[in-house]
Every structure is written in structure tokens, then in C-alpha cells.
Chains A and B, each alone.
Chain A
Amino acid sequence: MIQHPSVPIIKNEKLSKDLFKIVFRSKDLASGLRPGNFVHIRVSPEMDPLFRRAMSIYSCENDTFSVLFRAIGKGTGLLSKMREGDTVDILGPLGNSFDPPDKDETVILVAGGTGVPPLHFLAQWLLSNYGFDGQQILFLCGISSADDLPLSEAVEHLDIRMRTSSDDGSVGFKGYVSELLKTEALPYDIKKLRLYTCGPVPMLREVTKICAEQGIRCQVSLEGHMPCGIGTCLGCVVQSTRGEDEFDRICMEGPVFDSNEVLI
């Protein structure tokens, strides 16, 4: 069953003034979720906000899973105020998942801001389910300033290699994470490199451009205006590289795409 009408919240952790991590308990969901999948959460039984909120997955363990998000509007604001014991209606798992890398490849994960969660889940999955060594995984985490340090801290517990950049230089490398990528990717044999990225559109454009120039295989996880999440409303489309009149639904054909499949 994809519709889960009453999923309990077991923890809501405020990480900063607007960043929250919520842990849900659902064995069905937790056992079915794969890195890249998303859930569609009804944040209120009322009519405003009307639509569900699509959330990528930060982590998945046994019978629980968690999301990490920024409260920026009415819907995420309501979700951020929920407490342990509250229940929500969730559709999921939805969407496709990342293609796994080969075992002998190096994986670079490039996250910008709240693009961290799905790549954190992917890193966890590669370590626990694919037998990857932590040294094979490099996580590049771009944040705007020290205010968003909890985003980078949310990855630091993993036994992988990690670099953080901040736009204002208050944390780590000063500059965009795409700049950091240019130097960090240099030492690797491109044929044995896989890159996965999620974050704001300008960052994705820059990262996918670098990958195209250097011939690095890259998958992007996208978000879009997503009323239904199940492929019917055709609202969340992205233009395909197949042609000007070709669109893919982010909720069904995505949210994960090969970077050369879509025009971001």
C-alpha cells in the first residue's frame, strides 16, 4: 500500500532557527524506501495549505525514517510544529532511485543546502548495503553560512571523507561547492568516478556543466512544483534533452535523472 493514512512522528528535532529533522515510525515505508525516493506528506487536514509537501529522505533505519527540511512557508511551517505522537498521512515510497555505482568506483556526492538529505541517505546505503569503504565516498557539502552548519553536521557522523564550503567563508572552503568540486575532482580517474548531486538549480547547472566538460557520469535529484506526486497532474515536469517538446515528470520518471537527460 502506498497511502499510509496515519504515520506517527516519534521525534521532531529543531536543528537551527529554520532547520528541522523529523523521525517517523512506519515499518512499511522504512523497508521500502531507497535512496532518491521521496514521500508526499499531508501537513494539514484543512484546505490551506491544500497540497502535500514532497520530502526527500534523510535516513532510514529498521522501522523508522527521517526527513530534514527548512521551514520556509506555511506547509513546512506546520510540519515543523508537529510533535511526538502526532500522525500524518503519507504517500510513499514515490519516485525512482539513484543508479548504484560500480564497486570499484569513487563516489562524489555534491549537496547544496537542503539538497543534503537524499545524498546522506545514499551514502548510508552505499556503506551498509553495497559494502563501500568510507574512503571511496567524498561528500562535498555547500552551505551559505555558519547558520546552516547543522546541514553539514548532519553528514559528519558518517565514516566517509567530507569537505564543506560556505558562500561567506565562515565555514570551510570559501565559495560555491561547485568551485570546490573543480579542485576536489582533479586527482581522480574520471572513468572510475561517479557523481550524484542535489541542491538549488543554479548549483545543479554549474555542477552538471563541470561533469559534462570533464566527462564525469552524473545523476541529479530534482524537485519541482508537485501537486499530486503520483504522475497524474503533469505539473512537475522538467524539459528533456530528447527535444523541445519532450517533458519528463519529476515525480514519476524522476526525481533522479542522468544529468544528460534533462535541461535543468
Chain B
Amino acid sequence: MSKFDLTVEIGGVKFRNPIMTASGTFGYGEEFNEYIDLSKLGGIVTKSVTLNPRPGHKPPRTCETAGGMLNAIGLANVGVDRFITEKIPFLQTLDTNVVVNVAGFSIEEYVTVIDKLNDCDGIAMLEINISCPNVGADGLEFSGSPESAHKLTSELQKISRFPLIIKLSPNVTDIASIAKACEDAGADALSMINTLVGMGVNHNTFEPLLTNVTGGLSGPAIKPVALACVHKVYRSVKIPIIGIGGIMDHFDVAQFIIAGAAAVQFGTANFINPSCTVDAVDGLKNYLRDIDIQCIKELTGKLKV
């Protein structure tokens, strides 16, 4: 099995394999430690960290949909100071790449959080959430135009000592132009897609299914949208793309890589099967053997069109 090369490189960081976990679906890593061997993963991405602690929205915060789920957690997190004192020590013990996801409501907030993280060891990269759909009027919509995405990316690139992944939203007119703006501003990589805005309605009570009214749709239901975004952006930029959206197994991983991704993140699947990521690492080796390819890097963008 070892003759297959699953390693990938993103923003100068080497990953053991292209399989990571998506922000918001894997806690701070600790929660999954008793289910899987975290060192088998290419990397883990933490829940979004903001400057101040956030309690999140009132329940109900989630509901199941056909082949997916809606969530409006509201970026609940412990805030960067407690993240550094309480979560980083565990993350530093891990033999995998730790990607810290950062969210903010103004450029200054992102900058302050990154300044604090700059002093921490044990972080491989930062993923910048510029597009959480569930905090609406509060802000966090730097993904809305190429100009705002460019400005945020270039400001953060100046001060971060870690390579930056910019996480893009599908809730835009032209994701490729935003991707290009991030690349031009110096982003090291892009991850896509964040969740799609959606909602559910109870026809008996006339109430929305989520207290926040709208939420983010994730899960297998959004995979075709995510694949199309990856394919489109792959043709527009040269920096690596990390594919996200409804990935459940190694075949889904392969599909995203063929469409143009260098690596992937498993999100909602973690809620259903805590071992989905490590299962996919094994599955991916078998897949490479079956299609007679030695090196996963060779597969990126090999879509026949």
C-alpha cells in the first residue's frame, strides 16, 4: 500500500494525504480523539475562532433536509483568548496539520485574532471564513464582491505568519471572480464551498424550522454545486483549491480532485460516521491502485471535457 503517494502540498505546507475535516464539524479535534487516530489525517480544521466568545443562536439550530442539513449555530465558540489557553495545548500534541479557522466582523477583528495566533506554535495554516451565511446583518460578508475579498485578503496576508486559505461562499454571482481577487491579493489557497443559504418551514405552525429563520445547507445535497464551483475556479486560478461540500467517502474525494481540488474537507459526514475520514484515506489508496495511478497529485484537474 505504501507505494501510493497521497501527499499534497498547499501553501508550502506538506500534508500526509489530501483529507481534512471541515470547520464547524470537528470541534477542536478533542471530541474525535476517542473515535479515530487523528494522525492518519492530512489535517484538521478547527471550529471558527472569533475575537470575542460567542454563545451562538437560540435553538433549534439544526434540521435535517433531504440528503442534507440546515444549520444556524451562529459561530458559537470560546473566543480567541480561551482558544489559545484551552484548545491550542491539545492541538499542539497532534501529529497532523492543524488549520485554525478564523472569523471576524471587521478587518480589525480578523487582524487582532491573527495577531494573537501569530504567537502560537502548532498551527500549520489559517483558514479565513469570509462567508458564514448565518450571522447575516452582523457582517462577515467579505465574500460578496471581488473588491472586499481582495482588501481583506491583502490586509491579512500582510500580518499573518501562517499561510492563508480563504474559504469562499457559493452564495455569490460569480465565485471565480472572487477567487481570482483572493489570489491576486496573495492568498495561498482557497477552500470551497461554505454552506448554501437555505430555510425550512413548518406548515402546521407556520414557523421556520430554525430560530434564525435561514441557515446553511450542507451534506450530500450540495455536492453537485460544490463540484461545479471547484471546476469553475480551477480554470481561473493557479493556487491550490480545497474542495468541500457533501463529501462522504473516498469516491467523493476522487471526484473533487478530478474536478480540480488539491485536497478536500469532510464536513457533515463527520456527524454521521465519526470514522469517515480515516476510512476514506484507506479507500483512496485502493482507488489509486484500481485506476493505476501512483500519486494523488497526478489526479488534480484531470477532468475530461
- Choice from A51, A91, A234 contacting B61 with Cβ under 8 Å: A234
Say yes or no: B220 contacts A50, CB within 8 Å. yes
Whether A232 is near chain B, meaning CB under 8 Å from some CB there, is yes
Whether A160 is near chain B, meaning CB under 8 Å from some CB there, is no
Say yes or no: B25 contacts A232, CB within 8 Å. yes
Question: Residues of A contacting B6 with CB < 8 Å?
Answer: none
Shortest distance from the beta carbon of A110 to any chain B beta carbon, whole Å: 24
Whether A162 is near chain B, meaning CB under 8 Å from some CB there, is no
Instruction: Name the CB-closest residue of B to A224.
Output: B59
Known: A50-B68, A50-B219, A227-B64. A3 touches B59 (CB 8 A): no
1/0 contact trace for B58-86 toward A, CB 8 Å? 11111110111101010010000000000
Whether A84 is near chain B, meaning CB under 8 Å from some CB there, is no
Alpha-carbon gap, A247 to B76, bound state (A):
10
Alpha-carbon gap, A47 to B26, bound state (A):
20
Known: A2-B35, A50-B272, A51-B271. A235 touches B62 (CB 8 A): yes
Whether A34 is near chain B, meaning CB under 8 Å from some CB there, is no
Say yes or no: B31 contacts A225, CB within 8 Å. no
B contact residues vs A (CB 8 Å cutoff) = 24-27, 31-32, 34-35, 55-56, 58-64, 66-69, 71, 73, 76, 219-220, 248, 268, 270-275
Say yes or no: A235 contacts B32, CB within 8 Å. no
- Choice from B59, B71, B219 contacting A238 with Cβ under 8 Å: B59
Chain A residues 217-250 with CB under 8 Å of chain B are 224-225, 227-228, 230-239, 245-247
Tell me the interface secondary structure of chain B in the complex: loop
Alpha-carbon gap, A233 to B66, bound state (A):
18
Whether A120 is near chain B, meaning CB under 8 Å from some CB there, is no
Shortest distance from the beta carbon of A54 to any chain B beta carbon, whole Å: 12
Alpha-carbon gap, A51 to B68, bound state (A):
9
Alpha-carbon gap, A89 to B248, bound state (A):
16
Chain A residues 113-148 with CB under 8 Å of chain B are none
Say yes or no: B61 contacts A49, CB within 8 Å. no
Say yes or no: B61 contacts A225, CB within 8 Å. yes
Say yes or no: B56 contacts A227, CB within 8 Å. no
Known: A3-B274, A51-B272, A235-B61. A227 touches B55 (CB 8 A): no
Question: Residues of B contacting A228 with CB < 8 Å?
Answer: 270-271
Shortest distance from the beta carbon of A136 to any chain B beta carbon, whole Å: 36
